[in-house]
Amino acid sequence: MPKSIADLKTYLATLEGGAEYVEGLDSHLASLRSEAAGHRTGKTAAEGKLGKVLEKLGIDPATEDLEAALEAATKKTAGGTGKGNSELDARLARLEQDLAAEKAGRTKAEEAARTAKASGILKDSLTRGKAVTVNDLAKLLQGDMKFKEDGSPYFVDASGAEQTVDEYTSAWLKDRPELVQSGAQPGPGGPRGTPKPAPGAKSITTADYRQAVATKNVEILTAIGSGRITIQQES
């Protein structure tokens, strides 16, 4: 299993249509890096503004309780009435909003990066299991994927037991032989590509595809494997 982005790109390059996979991964990572850089800039700017306000109020956040010190400064500015100072309150509110927005943006970027990495791991596992439609099955299964504190993905089976990605996909494909390449069994194997859509191929929704999997509709699943039916991309 690839242990880094570089390893994943090297592996993807060996697959049929691998150049397209690598290009898509590079584009997504570049977008995430740009977004993360913007959040870091926003965080630095917000912290700088807060630092200036605290300096003007004579508050040292390293030695004082920030919330208590701000409350005391507000009361002092308002002449001890406790009503606060409208200008100061507005500035502090804007700073809090800036910091909250920066934190939310950074969390979103981190989640996107984690999801992109997990998607690659899942596709890699399905490829080794010789699944007939790697990309479509990855989209189907990724909604059930869970993450540990370190960001590594895993699954939980019907009994509630934790399973690695390889363990889960192997068992999942074993129960659905119609989703495995003809003449192949789930398990370790060489690289493969997802079938290209045939001329005039029909498309079905993800919900229809899930229903076909649940009912083991061999006709639909075989058509998907041969490219005669495609699954609509979810927005």
Average pLDDT over residues 198-224: 78
Of 12-16, 26-30, 90-94, 162-166, the range with the lowest mean pLDDT is 12-16
User: Each residue of 58-105: pLDDT tens digit?
Assistant: 777 666 676 676 667 666 655 544 445 677 677 777 777 777 777 777
Please count the structural domains in the chain: 1
What is the radius of gyration, based on Cα positions, of the chain? 26
Reply yes or no on whether the pLDDT at 4 is more than 60: yes
The verdict on pTM exceeding 0.75 is: no
**d(C-alpha 195, C-alpha 168), whole Å:** 23
Q: How far does Cα 143 stand from its chain's mean position? A: 10
Copy the structure tokens of residue 203: 């498309």
Residues near 7 by Cβ (< 8 Å), separated by ≥ 6? none
Whether 11 maps to a domain, the answer reads yes
Whether 83 maps to a domain, the answer reads yes
Reply yes or no on whether the pLDDT at 186 is more than 60: no
Reply yes or no on whether the pLDDT at 190 is more than 50: no
Q: What is the pLDDT of residue 179?
A: 83
Among residues 138, 117, 115, 142, the alpha carbon closest in space to that of 127 is found at 138
Containing structural domain, residue 146: 5-194
Residues near 163 by Cβ (< 8 Å), separated by ≥ 6? 154, 155, 156, 157, 171
Copy the structure tokens of residue 152: 């590594």
**d(C-alpha 47, C-alpha 45), whole Å:** 5
Whether 119 maps to a domain, the answer reads yes
Instruction: Identify the residue with better confidence: 139 or 198.
Output: 139
Among residues 15, 27, 224, 22, the alpha carbon closest in space to that of 112 is found at 27
**d(C-alpha 91, C-alpha 228), whole Å:** 60
Among residues 136, 110, 147, the alpha carbon closest in space to that of 234 is found at 136
Whether 223 maps to a domain, the answer reads no
Whether 38 maps to a domain, the answer reads yes
Copy the structure tokens of residue 138: 């990855």
Whether 22 maps to a domain, the answer reads yes
Whether 211 maps to a domain, the answer reads no
User: Each residue of 41-59: pLDDT tens digit?
Assistant: 777 776 777 777 667 667 7
Contact 114, 1 (CB under 8 A): no
Q: What is the pLDDT of residue 187?
A: 46
Average pLDDT over residues 30-37: 73
For the ranges 14-18, 75-79, 109-113, 221-225, the one whose mean pLDDT is highest: 109-113
User: Each residue of 125-178: pLDDT tens digit?
Assistant: 999 998 887 888 888 888 888 988 888 899 998 899 999 999 999 999 888 887
pLDDT band at 117 (very low <50, low <70, confident <90, very high): confident
Q: What is the pLDDT of residue 82?
A: 46
Instruction: Identify the residue with better confidence: 124 or 41.
Output: 124
**d(C-alpha 47, C-alpha 53), whole Å:** 10
Q: What is the pLDDT of residue 149?
A: 85
Residues near 129 by Cβ (< 8 Å), separated by ≥ 6? 169, 170, 173, 180, 186, 187, 189
Whether 228 maps to a domain, the answer reads no
Copy the structure tokens of residue 52: 């200036």
